[in-house]
Structure 1
Amino acid sequence: MKINHDNSIKIIPLGGLGRIGNNMLIVEIKEEILIIDAGGRFPENELNGVDLIIPDFKYIEQNAKKIKGLLITHGHEDHIAAIPHLQKKLKFPIYAPKFASEIILNKFTQNQKLSNLNITPISKGIVYKIGNFKVKWFEMCHSIPDSTGIFIETPFGKIIHTGDFKIDHNPIIGNPSNLSELANISKDKILLLMSDSTNANEEGYSGSDKEVFENLFNIISKSKGRVFISSFASQISRMQMIFYIAKLCERKIAFAGRSMIRNAKISKDLNYLEIPNQSEVPLSQSSKLTDDKVIIMITGSQSEPGSSLVKLSCNQHKKIKIKKGDTVIISASVIPGNEIKVNRTIDNLVRLGAKVITEKNFNIHVSGHAKKEELSLIINLIKPHLYLPIHGDYRMLQANANIAKENGIEEKNIFVLDDGNILEIQGKSGNVSGNIPSGSLYVDKSGNILNNTNLIENQSASTNNGVITISCIREKKSGKVLEAVTVNQLNISKEKNIKKIIKELQNIIIKSITQNNSKNLDLEQNEKILEKKSRDYISGNMKKMPIVIISTIQI
């Protein structure tokens, strides 16, 4: 197909296709570009010094004069985390739903290096003229308030981007997905539908928050001690649910974790979160209440380093400690890649005496993403000519493509892309016409983009050498090791003499803890010494160097 580039639409994903997270996509016509979302993802493995991974936006820098605006679908980090890093280098207007706008503004308030943010909080259903594009946001139900899809009218055809969505007719917060608006928009032929793929390989419908409410109420109402609930900090519907349950169970709620406190305040200010009078107490005051009158909502459901739940599990939280009789509910699914960290946190909590409940035990979490029947419903409602699965690992994109085919879209009109592919559309035909360089940028804890990405990628590749986790409990006063040192290994079981190596590592840890105790080291300093001594031994006794993770609990 010969393409007249002056009359075509280019769709270029920079992140989010082929791998969960990092959602960023370009819609380009002639000399104009719209960016949809600018997200990030957290490292799957523990990369030293890396706090965040974002899409490489070199193409955007090279075409800065063409950019008419950044359109945001909602306020999750995998859709907005890259914005501060983009805005350091480039200045262009941002259009976002109100809740997402407040979260983005908060990011800029916290970072003194960033200023002069040009952000417009959009109103759903209103048409915005942005360059030669006409843009309208519409309501979509997701796990965060003010989630939207986006309708874009170009001179060469009409496009719908679903954003992240599900079909829930009775959400705890906000409105259901606006199917009547979608039907209205689709009366005029839709050239291209770009649709969420995250749960495309799961049959049926995503569950409703109403089911989760009942299960959480049953667990909390039967708990005699304190209840800790960890979920995504942006899961405002879960937060609202817990306030309702707290009132029914005559408990007070305290928050632990900056992001959860921040999101609760934003939600309350925008009237998305209803907090009954006198139902909230500061964390420092929660200890003055009897255990059966307290619920603590806490960050760290993915065992993010430095999060409140991780600190709690290591007995390092300054204001609260786990004790026997506590119940910890992790009301979130584990993001692939975080399993080792989450399991380690759970293990530590159990060692400290807590009862831990996860979605594996009870139905205490539902996804915010559409499953097969919901995706089919949207396809049949919109009836697009072309279809592009977005937001997902490759298998999810392919499953979404299969759903489109099953629902009558011709195979030649369905496109499964990788980041960097250029989908060029002219008339009613689409064609992958080329590629642009794509990849990832690595951000440190200070918000700086690291230069030596090759070194980081090599470090990431080192996970192929396996992982050794070493856990121990010591008494704070005496420094004595109270239980046997636990050494677990992953992907190194074929190593010669592995049993002997594990036994020797246990001895090294016990000896080192005894020596370190006389030096009055804090827990972090102690763990660094233990890690170094373990690495020194491993490097001299094993053919490959695994990642070493030390976890010390002090009681």
Structure 2
Amino acid sequence: MSHPHPELSAPPELPKGGLRVTALGGLGEVGRNMTVFEYDGRLLIVDCGVLFPEDHQPGVDLILPDFGPIRDRLDDIEALVLTHGHEDHIGATPYLLRERQDIPLVGSELTLALLDSKLREHRLRQTVHHKVKAGDRMILGPFELEFIAVNHSIPDALAIAIRTGTALVLHTGDFKMDQLPLDGRITDLRSFARLGEEGVDLFLTDSTNAETPGFTPTEKSITPVIDQVFRDSTQRIIVACFASHVHRVQQVLDAAVANNRKVAYVGRSMVRNMGIARDLGYLTVPGGTLVEAKDLADLPPERQVLVSTGSQGEPMSALSRIAQRSHNFVHIEENDTVLLASSLIPGNENAIYRVINGLARWGARVVHKGNAHVHVSGHASAGELLYCYNIVQPRNVLPVHGEIRHMLANAALARSVGVENVVVAEDGVVVDLVDGVASIVGKVDVGLVFVDGTSVGDITEADLKDRRILGEEGFISVIIVIDSVTGKVSAGPEIHARGNALENNDFSAVQKSVIDAVNAALAEGNVDSYQLQQTVRRVVGRWVSNTHRRRPMIIPVVVEA
């Protein structure tokens, strides 16, 4: 089994007839999925998603794949193929289209509809769309594509078979094998088997749940739990889930109708996405069930249901504002029921429990994955992955979509059923499939591309380090005036502090030390302002560290008068 290595060099020229696979995101992380296939001088991209920031990335809105390795080859792109409509697979598309706006987009009906809404938000004109469904085939340059139905936690998800002149590749996208899906659309294992008979040279498989034994429970298995929550609730019910989880919202609507309740959506993305799903027939809304959120308060509490965004504790989401009692028209009351019908994404634990505690403080009953069976994953567990490997019998496997531990677990599953060549790569690692054998041949430079407001890619890791210091350790400014005639300190230092335990402190103890150190430096002939600033920073930094055990950001200003 091959492993990525940080010392890999740039990849060589792709041999004639070879297929090159490079992930610009999504390998070694759960999010920003984007894989580039190269054959005969042309490129095919599968997915273009975002990653959401963690606590140690303050001020960042989104994280994009790094388009750097393909920026000078945008004209070689045949199309961008989207496996499904989740943000971690389509969210970065508008940013790619800013670089070349006429890239053809290929995806299912719901996927493209969700993307169109996003493109309008970014004020991008419509590009070429190819709407496809399971069973369709199409040719894009040297790539022949076949689309295969798979289950996921959003309707209309597709796996992609890619045929070139020398190879057959099967990319699962995000998938599971729910045998009792709410929409009746099962993962098409017959097509997987047929492709296996044809001979799959490279199998790219979803790794997200590879560490989870057994099979992922069915979506229908949580319906009785949701029904029980509705029956037991005597007041208002607030359900928080992902704004794209059409199946979960359908279950909530059905339970609301059965219990004579009205439903309102809260959160802009929830209103938009469910409207799209309803218009396209993916969501069935019984007449008279939906009302405007602001009108729900006219009904008695026992007839109200709110479907909200914010299941991951996002600070500005509807649910977080409800928990803080700062929402415009939704005010949590004692004995309300809040149902968190979603997974707990790693890294979001603190934010989620902060919201749960906030809701509980006001007397709400909070039902979540930790205390009830109210969510099932959208990804295949280990048993399903083994099943797929035995059906497809691929010659080579490249685990995708997951952290390194997930991909290694997926690789171990593939090897356990006899797959001899399993390649574990990370973002930027280049894998070539030549003469039926996949191997790592090099690496291209990729990094995290941060979106901060309207700024894209301008924020660096150094900027984030500064922000963390500001947030955790505080900020001190020191202003000192030098008399250009006498060559000595004539005023100051004036010291101001913000943040942490530094505010309202008496800095008189360090002021004399600063004056003495600056005068000593001036006496030695150090008149360069940068050197004097460093002297001030060193003296103040040492004092704050010894006195307060802090390492704040220190900004010295030396003025010559």
TM-score w.r.t. the length of structure 2 is 0.81
Q: Residue 200 of structure 2 aligns with which residue?
A: 190
CA deviation profile, 1:247-303 (whole Å, cap 9, x unmatched): 111111111011111111111111110101111111011111111111110000011
> Structure 1 residue 445: deviation in Å?
3.1
Aligned partner of 1:286: which letter? L
Letter in 2 for 1:449: V
2:341 is aligned, of 306, 331, 338, to 331
Q: Secondary structure at the match of 2:16?
A: helix
SS at match of 2:354: helix
CA distance in 2, matches of 1:460, 1:430: 42
Per-residue CA deviation, residues 14-43 of structure 1 (Å, 9 max, x unaligned), is: 111111111000111121110000011110
* 1:358-369 mapped onto 2 (5 Å cutoff): 358-369=368-379
Are 1:414 and 2:414 matched, yes or no? Answer: no
In the aligned structure 1, how far is the partner of 2:408 from the partner of 2:469? 29
> 1:173: how far off?
2.6
- Alignment partners' CA distance in 2, 1:247 and 1:4: 59
Matched, 1:352 2:362: yes
1:351 CA displacement: 1.7
Determine if the alignment matches structure 1 residue 321 to structure 2 residue 328. Answer: no
4 and 70 in structure 1: CA distance in 2 versus 1, 3 angstrom threshold: closer
Give the whole-Å Cα distance in 2 for the aligned partners of 1:87 and 1:303. Answer: 30
Matches within 5 A, 1:406-485: 406-410=416-420, 413-446=421-454, 448-459=455-466
1:230 and 2:240 are equivalent in the alignment: yes
The equivalent of 1:305 in structure 2 is: 315
What is the distance in 1 between the residues matched to 2:115 and 2:14? 38
| Aligned-partner Cα distance in 1 for 2:547–2:108 | 56
529, 537, 550: which is aligned to 1:543?
550
CA distance in 2, matches of 1:145, 1:194: 21
> In 2 relative to 1, CA 459–172 (structure 1 residues): closer, same or farther, beyond 3 Å?
farther
Q: Deviations over 1:429-476 (max 9, x none)?
A: 122111011111111234x30413133442587699799xxxxxxxxx
Distance (whole Å) between structure 2 residues aligned to residue 140 and residue 420 of structure 1: 27
Q: Which residue of structure 2 aligns with residue 476 of structure 1?
A: none
SS of structure 1 residue aligned to 2:274: helix
Q: 2:50 aligns with which of 20, 40, 47?
A: 40
> Secondary structure at 1:184's aligned position in 2?
helix
- Offset, 1:186: 2.5
Aligned Cα root-mean-square deviation (Å): 2.6
Q: How does 1:257-406 map to 2 (within 5 A)?
A: 257-406=267-416
2:181 aligned residue: 171
Q: Give 1:127 shift.
A: 1.1
Q: 1:453 corresponds to which letter in structure 2?
A: T
Compared CA separation, residues 457 and 253, structure 1 to 2 (3 A)? same
Amino acid at match of 2:429: N
2:58–2:467 CA contact under 8 A, matched in 1:
no
Residues 143-164 of structure 1: CA deviation (Å, up to 9, x unaligned) = 0010110000011110000011
Q: How many residues align?
A: 480
Q: 2:323, 2:290 → 1: CA distance?
A: 24
Contact 2:14-2:20 at 8 Å conserved across structures: no
- Taking a change above 3 Å as real, the CA distance of residues 405 and 459 of structure 1, as seen in their structure-2 partners, is farther
Q: Which amino acid aligns with 1:107?
A: K
Residue correspondence of structure 1 range 4-43 to structure 2 within 5 A: 5-43=15-53
CA distance in 1 between counterparts of 2:290 and 2:69 reads 47
Counting aligned pairs with the same residue, the percent is 32
1:442–1:449: 8 Å Cα contact kept in structure 2?
A: yes
Following superposition, the deviation at residue 49 of structure 1 comes to 3.0
**Deviation digits for residues 494-513 of structure 1 (CA, Å, limit 9, x no counterpart):** xxxxxxx99x89x99xxxxx
Label 1:312 to 1:185 Cα distance change in 2 as closer, same or farther (>3 A): same
**TM-score, structure 1 length as denominator?**
0.82
| C-alpha contact 2:431 2:440 (8 A) present in aligned 1 | yes
Q: Which amino acid aligns with 1:146?
A: D
**In structure 1, C-alpha distance between the alignment counterparts of 2:288 and 2:136, rounded to whole Å:** 38
Counterpart contact for 1:465–1:544, Cα < 8 Å: no
Partner SS for 1:63? helix
Report the AA paired with residue 449 of structure 2. L
Matches of 1:116 and 1:208, distance apart in 2: 37
Superimposed CA distance per residue, residues 401-429 of structure 1 (whole angstroms, 9 cap, x where no aligned partner):
0000111111xx10000110110111121
CA distance in 2, matches of 1:225, 1:438: 51
Distance 1:85 1:399, change over 3 A: same
**Relative to structure 2, which stretch is displaced further, 453-462 or 322-331?**
453-462
SS at match of 2:342: coil
Instruction: Letter of the 1:268 partner, please give it.
Output: R
From 105, 113, 119, the equivalent of 1:108 is 119
Is the CA contact 1:146–1:174 (under 8 Å) kept in the aligned structure 2? no
Q: By how many angstroms is 1:333 displaced?
A: 1.5
Alignment partner, residue 162 of structure 1: 172
Partners of 2:359 and 2:278 lie apart in 1 by 31
In the alignment, structure 1 segments of 5+ residues that lack a partner are 468-500, 509-536, 547-555
Query: Which secondary structure does the structure 1 equivalent of 2:231 belong to?
Result: helix
1:220-243 CA distance string (max 9 Å, x none) = 111101010001111110000011
Match of 1:133 among 129, 133, 143: 143
Q: Indicate if the aligned counterparts of 2:210 and 2:407 stay in contact, CA closer than 8 A.
A: yes
Displacement, 1:175? 0.3
Answer yes or no: is the 8 Å Cα contact 2:14–2:432 preserved in 1: no
Question: Once the 2 structures are TM-superposed, how far is the Cα of residue 368 of structure 1 from its aligned partner?
Answer: 0.4
Classify 1:99/1:538 alpha carbon distance in 2 versus 1 (closer, same or farther; 3 Å): farther
